[in-house]
Amino acid sequence: MISTDSDILSTAETWAKAGRSVALATVVETWGSAPRPVGSHLVIDGEGNFLGSVSGGCVEGAVVEEAAEVIADGRARTLEFGVADETAWKVGLSCGGSIKVYVEKVS
């Protein structure tokens, strides 16, 4: 079961208040076939725990890895995954779509 956006945002707040390092990933743009709509969230803590979904498969793994860097350096970034990207097959986007995911540190 995929958690609701309010569950995910509430979890981000709870984790941050508990002193965990936290990042929030949000789908900000899609084109063509995309498994999750714009506005979908994934919250990640510094230990690699996460809740929610921004895509699935290897894309989600790549977002979790980038979130660790966002937590470490505090710099937000926009990630792009799509079939035109040389990493498309690597992250599992062979279905003809593309997505942009904004990842920011929660404080």
Task: Determine the average pLDDT of the residues in 32-41.
Answer: 88
Where do we find the tokens 């995910």? Answer: 8
Structural domain boundaries, residue 101: 5-106
* pTM of structure: 0.85
Convert the pLDDT of each residue in 40-89 to its tens digit.
Answer: 999 999 999 999 999 877 888 999 999 999 999 999 999 998 765 455 55
DSSP code of 4? P
Instruction: Give the count of domains, the chain.
Output: 1
**What token pair was written down for 52?**
């929610």
Where do we find the tokens 């040389």? Answer: 86
- Residues 82 and 66: beta-carbon distance below 8 Å: no
